[in-house]
Amino acid sequence: MEITLTHYLLLAMTVFLTGMVGFVVRRNAIVMLMCVELMLSSVNIVFAAYSRFHANADGHVFVLMNFAVAAAEAAIGLAILVEIFRRRRTVNVDDLKALME
Amino acid sequence: MSLITDHILTWVTFLPLLGSVLLWTIVRRDSHARIFALVVALADFVLSLHLWFHFDSSRGDDQFVEKVAWLFNGQISYHMGMDGISLVLVMLTTFLGPLVILSTWKAITDRVPEFMAFLLFLQAAMLGTFFARDMLLFYVFWEVMLIPMYFIIGMWGGQRRIYAAVKFFIFTMVGSVFMLVGILYLYFQAGSMNLFDFLEVALGHEAQLWLFAAFFLAFAIKVPVFPLHTWLPDAHVEAPTAGSVVLAAVLLKMGIYGMLRFAMPLFPDGVAFFAPAISILAVIGIIYGALVAMVQPDVKKLVAYSSVSHLGFVVLGLFSLTPLGVAGGIFTMIAHGLSTGALFLLVGVIYERRHTRQISEFGGLAHEMPVFATFFMITTLASVGLPGMAGFIGEFMILFGTFGSETLAHAKLMTILATTGVVLGAIYMLWMYQRVFFGKLANEKNKGLPDLSLREIAVLLPIVIFMFWLGVRPGLILDKVEASVATVLAPLNGGPILTDDPGHHALRAEPEPGQDHPVFIVRDTENQ
Amino acid sequence: MESHATESLLRWIVLVPLLAAAVGGLLNRRLPKQVAGLLACGAVGVSFALSVTVFLRLTRMPAAERFVSDTMGTWIGFGNLQIDLGFTMDPLSGVMALVVTGVGFLIHIYSLGYMAHDEGFGRFFAYMNLFIFAMMTLVLGENMLMLFVGWEGVGLCSYLLIAFWFNDEANAAAGKKAFIVNRIGDFGFLLGIFLIGTTLLPHLAEGEGLFSFRTLQHHAGIMAPVATAICLLLFLGATGKSAQIPLYIWLPDAMAGPTPVSALIHAATMVTAGVYMVARMNFLFVLSPTAMGVVAAVGVVTAIFAATIALTQNDIKKVLAYSTVSQLGYMMLACGVGAFGIAIFHVMTHAFFKALLFLGSGSVIHAMSNEKDMRVMGGLKKKLPITFWTFLIGTLALAGIFPFAGFFSKDEILWKTFSSELGGVLPWALGFLAAGLTAFYMMRLVVLTFFGENRASAEVKSHIHESPATMTMPLVILAVLSLVGGWIGWPHFMGGGAWFEQWLAPVFSSGHGAAAHGAAVHGAAAGEAVHDTMMEWILAGASLAWGLIGLGVGYFVYMKKISIATSLRNLGGGVPYKILLNKYYVDEAYEGTFIRPGYLLSKNVLWKIVDAGLIDGLLVNGSALVVAITGSVLRLFQNGMVRFYAWSFTIGVTVFVLYLSFSG
């Protein structure tokens, strides 16, 4: 079976939905963060696939940029979570309502 | 030297900003901050003197022009220029700058470097507003001006400072947003943010009305024109003295300046359509401001309402659409800047000593503080428009110009009503003076108040000198603005309009930086 | 423009007092009293000497060319609006300059004594010099706007000097009232100036000064269609400054100031500025019979109205104040019937004898330890002989007794009123009646003050003394002037040359439209000369007799039969007396109709309801409230629940994507 663009897109969709569902149903901030990373990855897949499909390198550029953004985001996000955990002893988002108003 | 003189407008504008940045970062001691700010303001005044002495009064176009492409292939540029109208307002600003700083010596003791930084920042923004000839640049300066004023009122103000600061901010912001929409509309029509390109856009009648309304609203709030004035008394009462002085002397003039520079030349149809209504509002403002000023128990509020009255005169002069009325309006702006600025300084002096501004708390102060009483009297008379002092010339020209206006509906009636403002002005000012200074010194707390210090005299004396000087030699201002007024009013008479780009129609030349020899071209209008 | 002589001394007539005022004002208490006094008097003296010098130069010129000017450059120059900063002197302003600086000089000298013990000595003289400066600007100003500068300037000095003893709130209030009432007049004056300006501006040649009196006179014809409006507006200004109905109310209150101020400003000089202005603008006024009629009517009504009030006043200065209002009415009457020269003649003689009377009353008040109520005076004849005799001369002059100065000017006014086609029998009769009343109330004043027994307390009595020489010397000089000052206007019918009128004739006979009128004024004696001379003798005799009767009745009533005065007072249940004593309740009427309602309207309606309630409350804070309510609804969505946000976001994006997919 030849692997076509459609397959890549289906994969990307699966990964994205996994991430999305995980993001809205889980309460653990670390898991939610990982779900966000999943969604970003799915977008990367789409970029790479289309890059190949159109036979130009633009998509790869964006993939690389996304990597950088994702890495930075994960680093900062985790650092914040560690700090929150140190102070609150929890990373359950339902317990973190300081942003209200 | 040419490094400075070739970019003089940039230097004049950004020197205070530089000072402001240094105050935020390096100069952190209170005493150092005061002296540093004073030196910067004085230096800025000295720089602006170059403008005064090298200005060519015979020309009505922009001088000392600086133009550098900024964004979108030069559609938006850093375009600074100065004509006579800008010149006199700039001189007022830089002249008052050092005096205002000197007046805060004792009044501000809390977070001094920040306060001075805000004052200088404010000065930079105001100067930029007067110089900017690119609408985006103008808008940036216009809005940036709000920030330091907001903090000056909000951080160093009186009891209800937050309310006043927010009210001031929101009021002005609301107007500006409509103007921004107008600017964007014009930008898409003209393909550039340059004021002179805007002037060439042939707008439909309907569009002119809407655009004029949008621009006018922004400027009318700033002036303020009745009934958009209620932010002013609150802002003045809550602002610290220095804030009130700058607010009254320069900031209010931004609105008038905006009308004169933008709203009126850009939309002649809008002016023609709205002028009768606006002149009625102006006359209401004159009388209403005076009557309400009369019954104020708080000196500062009284002066604030008197500003509403005085600026009503200016708006009336502007919309008389006569060169005389407009020039009188400009003159009154300067005169009002001096007299009302001085009045706020004087009120600040007494507030520093007694921590109240209620008229009922005073009485008989002339016994304890004769020098203060004298300065106050002179300033009161200047504000009342005594002939021989600056205020009279402006009022006279406005009223005379309006009386003779052929375009304004009911010009004679308007003048008659406005002239009653002259009578009312004498009533509220002299009555206040009588209650504060005359009579017996009844209140124990007023006994032994120290008279003006040398520093306070040094602040007030230059202003007082100019009140007289301009009253006797008004040509000082009038000569500078005469040609510019004709230029600004030209589009309203279907006359030639100013462009800064001679080859504009033939080929779209790249804007040349530093080009400072604009020419007149005749606009192709339908009626030619 | 015709060429004319320049005279650079003119500016110094004006500027020397200003400089002295500046020096005196700035140094104030640091200056010893002697130096301050000398400086002030010296400055006015110099000003007087210079005025005389220039005046003499005028006399050596041919009659038609008596005009010198001194231009200090452009004042307001904008487009074709050209207003110069300059001074001129012609026969009219020359006379005024001499009167102002001359009488001013005497009053300054007098003040040295009167104010000697006042702690505000330096301030007083600075203000006085400032006044001379302003008054000279008014008189010598080259154009209407310069005149207006002086006009407001004298108003300011009047304000400052009335409120000089500001310790008493009433004095301060009187000063403020004077300034504001004058401002109401200025309202008219300004509008008159605007109307002149807009009418003339399109017709001016390059560089012609718009408001210059010469230009105005030259182009008077252009203004003919609007002359009535212009003149009435200008006259409104004149009623303010010259205390005519309806704006006279400030002058009696102005007596709160030191007495030399009352003499200088509120009798001799400033209050005549309105008359001067009307005379100066004579070429316009003659174009409008309506305006002339109004001027004459207001003048004569004021003359009789104020004279009746003066009958009942008990304050010595108030009597003189109402007398001044009344005499100013005469001057206006003269202007109104076209006898401008006579009006100025009366300005001059009145300056002499009214200044004398005020200074005399000042001497009395000084002696009586600042008592102004005549009811506690009396019997001062012996103790203040110089004051008494000079005061008596002033009284005779004011009553119009031959050969004192007042006789000549007042009689001429009445004659011109009678004979001019603008006048008539009725205005003459009213003026005649007022003349008798004048003689009566002046005699009442003299008797109550100087005759009989002294009614003061023993304490005050012990201090009564004649004033020092600095005060009596000016009295004597003014008394001499009150006697001989009228002789320069010795009329034709009595064998004189009416020299004063001739001197002013060039000013009042040139210009358009004035020719016809000139005949009415100056040629009055030419036509029907014999008949007129006869009539003139009769009227002069009648008014002299009438004045003597007034004096006699006054003397008889208050000296011999005081019961007559009491029964007059109780006439008609005392109501007429009460009305007069309370000055026809005019102040109360103004208070009730304009001042209180205006204040209450401003405070309770405009400020509290319109400003704070409607605009700020409803519109401004109302819209803020709407925003706040909207915000408080929207804030429910910002609950800090991260998962709520996540769900909202997800659902939102889903809906959006679905919409995009299916909307095509």
Q: Domain residues of chain B, as ranges?
A: 2-519
Cα B9 from Cα C401, distance rounded (Å)? 77
Helix, strand, coil % (nearest 5) of chain A? 80, 0, 20
- The total number of structural domains in chain A stands at 1
pLDDT, position B330? 93
B323–C contact, CB cutoff 8 A = yes
Residues C532-553: what's their mean pLDDT? 81
Nearest CB partner across the interface for A97, out of C635, C640, C646 = C640
Residue C310 lies in a domain: no
CA separation, residue B102 to residues B16, B40, B380, B398 (Å)? 15, 12, 22, 33
Residues C338-345: what's their mean pLDDT? 87
Cα B411 from Cα B432, distance rounded (Å)? 32
Give the tens place of pLDDT for each residue, C214-236: 888 888 888 888 889 999 999 99
Distance of CA B167 to the CA centre of its chain: 20
Q: Give C584 or B460, the one with higher predicted confidence.
A: B460
Residue C611 lies in a domain: yes
What is the average pLDDT score of chain C?
83
Cβ–Cβ gap C646/A23 under 8 Å: yes
C60–A contact, CB cutoff 8 A = no
Do C363 and C472 meet the contact criterion of CB atoms below 8 Å apart?
yes
CATH of the domain at A69: 1.10.287.3510
pLDDT, position C494? 74
Q: Which two tokens stand for residue C10?
A: 């003119």
Do B20 and B121 meet the contact criterion of CB atoms below 8 Å apart?
yes
Segment of A37-46, C434-443, C522-531 carrying the highest mean pLDDT:
A37-46
Domain extent for A87:
27-94
pLDDT, position B461? 92
Give the tens place of pLDDT for each residue, C153-197: 888 888 888 888 887 878 888 888 888 888 888 888 989 999 988
C 156-195 near B (Cβ less than 8 A): 156, 159, 163, 166-169, 171-173, 175-176, 179-180, 183-184, 186-187, 190-191, 193-195
Neighbours of B459 (CB within 10 A): 26
- The total number of structural domains in chain C stands at 1
Neighbours of C650 (CB within 10 A): 14
Cα B218 from Cα B209, distance rounded (Å)? 15
Residues C235-240: what's their mean pLDDT? 90
pLDDT, position A10? 93
Helix (H, G, I), strand (E, B) or coil at C521: helix
pLDDT, position A99? 62
Count CA atoms closer than 13 A to B402's CA, side-chain side. Answer: 34
Percent over 70 (pLDDT), chain C: 95
pLDDT, position B508? 37
pLDDT, position A39? 92
Q: How far is B474 from chain C (nearest CA, A)?
A: 6
The answer to whether the bond into C246 is cis (omega within 30° of 0) is yes
Cα C509 from Cα C452, distance rounded (Å)? 52
Cβ–Cβ gap C639/A100 under 8 Å: yes
- Strands (E) across C374-492 are located at none
pLDDT, position C488? 83
Percent over 90 (pLDDT), chain C: 11
pLDDT, position C564? 72
Give the tens place of pLDDT for each residue, C249-276: 888 888 888 888 888 888 888 888 999 9
| C603: chain B residues, CB-CB within 8 Å | 295
Cα C295 from Cα C289, distance rounded (Å)? 10
B431–C contact, CB cutoff 8 A = yes
Do C150 and C41 meet the contact criterion of CB atoms below 8 Å apart?
no
Query: Which segment of B52-66, C59-73, C282-296, C560-574 scores lowest on mean pLDDT?
Result: C560-574
pLDDT, position C521? 46
Among the residues of C485-528, which ranges form H helices?
499-509, 514-522
pLDDT, position B172? 86
Enumerate long-range contacts of C197-201, CB under 8 Å, 24 or more apart: C197/B400, C197/B403, C197/B404, C197/C81, C198/B400, C198/B403, C198/B404, C199/C223, C199/C226, C199/C230, C201/B404, C201/C80, C201/C81
Q: Is the pLDDT of residue A40 over 60?
A: yes
Residue A21 lies in a domain: no
Q: Which two tokens stand for residue C102?
A: 């001359």
Rg (CA), chain A: 17
A98–C contact, CB cutoff 8 A = yes
Q: Is the pLDDT of residue C517 over 70?
A: no
The pLDDT averaged over each successive group of 10 residues in chain B (528 residues) is 80 92 86 90 92 88 87 85 91 93 86 90 93 91 91 86 86 88 89 86 87 92 87 88 91 91 89 90 91 88 92 92 91 93 92 86 84 90 89 91 85 89 87 85 81 89 92 89 88 60 39 43 40
A32–C contact, CB cutoff 8 A = yes
Predicted confidence band of residue C520 (pLDDT cuts 50, 70, 90): very low
By CB atoms closer than 10 A (0-12, 13-18, 19+), residue A54 is exposed
C 587-606 near B (Cβ less than 8 A): 598-599, 601-603, 606
Give the tens place of pLDDT for each residue, C537-547: 888 888 888 88
pLDDT, position B494? 63
Residues C282-293: what's their mean pLDDT? 88
By CB atoms closer than 10 A (0-12, 13-18, 19+), residue C658 is exposed
DSSP strand pairing (B519-521 vs B497-499): antiparallel
Give the tens place of pLDDT for each residue, C36-60: 888 889 999 999 999 999 998 888 8
Do B293 and B305 meet the contact criterion of CB atoms below 8 Å apart?
yes
Domain extent for C615:
585-662
Dihedral sign from CA coordinates of C76, C82, C85, C89: negative
Nearest CB partner across the interface for B387, out of C74, C152, C599 = C152
Residues A65-70: what's their mean pLDDT? 92
| C84: chain B residues, CB-CB within 8 Å | none
Cβ–Cβ gap A94/C643 under 8 Å: yes
Q: What secondary structure letter does DSSP report for C221?
A: G
Using H for helix, E for strand and C for coil, what is the string for C433-455?
A: HHHHHHHHHHHHHHHHHHCCCCC
A81–C contact, CB cutoff 8 A = no
Nearest CB partner across the interface for B475, out of C74, C169, C187 = C74
Q: What is the ipTM of this complex?
A: 0.84
Residue C388 lies in a domain: no
CA separation, residue B207 to residues A26, B78, B193, B204, B213 (Å)? 55, 27, 18, 5, 10
